[in-house]
Amino acid sequence: MSTDQIISDWKRGAFHPVYWLEGDESYHIDKLTAFAEDHILPANEAEFNLSIFYGKDSKAEDILNACRRYPMFAEKQVVILKEAQHLKEIDRLESYLDNPLMSTIFIVAHKDKKLDGRGKLAKSLKSKAIVITTKKMYDNELPEWASNMVRQKGLEIQPKALYMLVDHIGNDLQRMENEIEKLTVNLNGKKQIGEDDIEQYVGISKEFNVFELQAALGNRDLPNTLKILNYFAANPKAGPIQLILPTLYSFFSKLYIAAASGAKDEYGIAAALGIKAFFAKQYTQAMQRYSFNDIEKALILLNHYNLKSLGMGQVDTEDSSLMKELAAKIILPS
């Protein structure tokens, strides 16, 4: 069962006595607990029938007592346990699963990890609760996820604008949602999000960003690469080395996979990398300019300069100088 399915059920008044939300993607867990806290009960009923506990500060006995009491002046009560991963004696919650109160909606948010599946509690949850296990989204899934969210708002987004947004925000789904919401509010009736909108409302330069740096490196265009790096040097927040190096390493890693696959066109490369054909254009172009050995050399250099950026084996070199030196070694022939 998905997050959206559960919320849809809740909106129409269909509830299960126990919901167990776990995993390392907090976005979906937070979305469900926030909806439960703010929308399941009307405000006048929530005053008496909404109980919120935090694992670090709570006792299992107090949580169980809250679950077993009857609602006041209402048909339902909601009990939410946040940060359940910090609750001592969490296994004691298993006793409630055998005979849950049908008038109680008990929601447990167990973040950062899954419950040990070998324990009695985990085994009981499988058959006696709605269990949602969340996982961090893979990078190649982010464009589709963001694009779907844009469509849910009744909008469209240009491919390059989508890439800028995903590349800038990365795997932070809550921030992605916030930025898309900001764009929705500021479009003033427009139905398509473009590069200018991303630049104006999200704060990403359409000319000087990691996406354009990646493109310049992929084209072995040293002047444009240095131009972008000079902009980053003058605007450190626009392109910190801690963001640039992992992004470039990911790019050349995918380029390595594409080159090894033997694919020659955008569709073959897209299939090999699990991405849309539009996003494969950069890899197609880069493969025309980099040999397999060049790509291997770039990956070795990126790893080496990442260590340098962490202070290993070099003396007080500025990040901007490190990046220019790295770019020159990647682009220029040996």
Verify that 105 and 59 share a domain, yes or no.
yes
pLDDT at 102: 95
Verify that 128 and 151 share a domain, yes or no.
no
Phi then psi for residue 156, to 5 deg, are -125, 160
What's the rounded Cα separation, in Å, for the pair 179 and 142? 14
- Of 101, 119, 134, the last residue of a domain is 134
The Cα diameter of the chain in Å comes to 78
List Cα–Cα distances, 97 to 49, 67, 68, in angstroms: 20, 11, 11
pLDDT digits (tens, 9 = 90+) for 49-98: 999 999 999 999 999 999 999 999 999 999 999 999 999 999 999 999 98
What's the rounded Cα separation, in Å, for the pair 268 and 314? 41
What long-range pairs does 36-44 form, CB within 8 A, spacing at least 24?
36/10, 36/78, 36/80, 36/105, 36/107, 37/78, 37/80, 39/10, 39/11, 40/10, 40/15, 40/76, 40/78, 40/105, 41/74, 41/76, 41/77, 41/78
Verify that 254 and 194 share a domain, yes or no.
no
Triad 272, 270, 252: Cα angle to 5°: 75
Residue 35 CB-density burial (10 A; 0-12 exposed, 13-18 middle, 19+ buried): middle
Verify that 151 and 129 share a domain, yes or no.
no
List Cα–Cα distances, 167 to 170, 198, 240, in angstroms: 6, 12, 13
Beta bridge partners of 78: 50, 105
Confidence of residue 256 (pLDDT cuts 50, 70, 90): very high
pLDDT at 137: 87
Verify that 57 and 108 share a domain, yes or no.
yes
Verify that 168 and 104 share a domain, yes or no.
no
Verify that 153 and 128 share a domain, yes or no.
no
pLDDT at 315: 60
Verify that 192 and 129 share a domain, yes or no.
no
Residue 164 belongs to domain with CATH number: 1.10.8.60
Q: Which stretch of DSSP H or E encloses residue 81?
A: strand 77-82
Residue 54 belongs to domain with CATH number: 3.40.50.300
Verify that 70 and 165 share a domain, yes or no.
no
What's the rounded Cα separation, in Å, for the pair 273 and 280? 8
Q: How far is CA 247 from the centre of its chain?
A: 15
pLDDT digits (tens, 9 = 90+) for 179-221: 999 999 999 889 999 999 999 999 888 889 888 999 999 999 9
Instruction: Tell me the three state secondary structure of residue 262.
Output: coil
Triad 294, 296, 302: Cα angle to 5°: 100
Verify that 117 and 187 share a domain, yes or no.
no
Joined tokens for residue 247? 């992004």
Verify that 78 and 170 share a domain, yes or no.
no
pLDDT at 95: 93
- Of 151, 173, 202, the last residue of a domain is 202
What's the rounded Cα separation, in Å, for the pair 128 and 111? 20
pLDDT digits (tens, 9 = 90+) for 211-249: 899 999 999 999 999 999 999 999 888 889 988 999 999
DSSP annotation of 138 reads P
Domain of 109? 3-134
SS3 content of the chain, % helix, strand, coil (to 5): 60, 10, 30
pLDDT digits (tens, 9 = 90+) for 147-166: 999 999 999 999 889 988 99
What's the rounded Cα separation, in Å, for the pair 295 and 247? 15
What's the rounded Cα separation, in Å, for the pair 324 and 79? 55
> 46 pLDDT exceeds 80?
yes
Verify that 179 and 289 share a domain, yes or no.
no
- The count of domains in the chain is 3
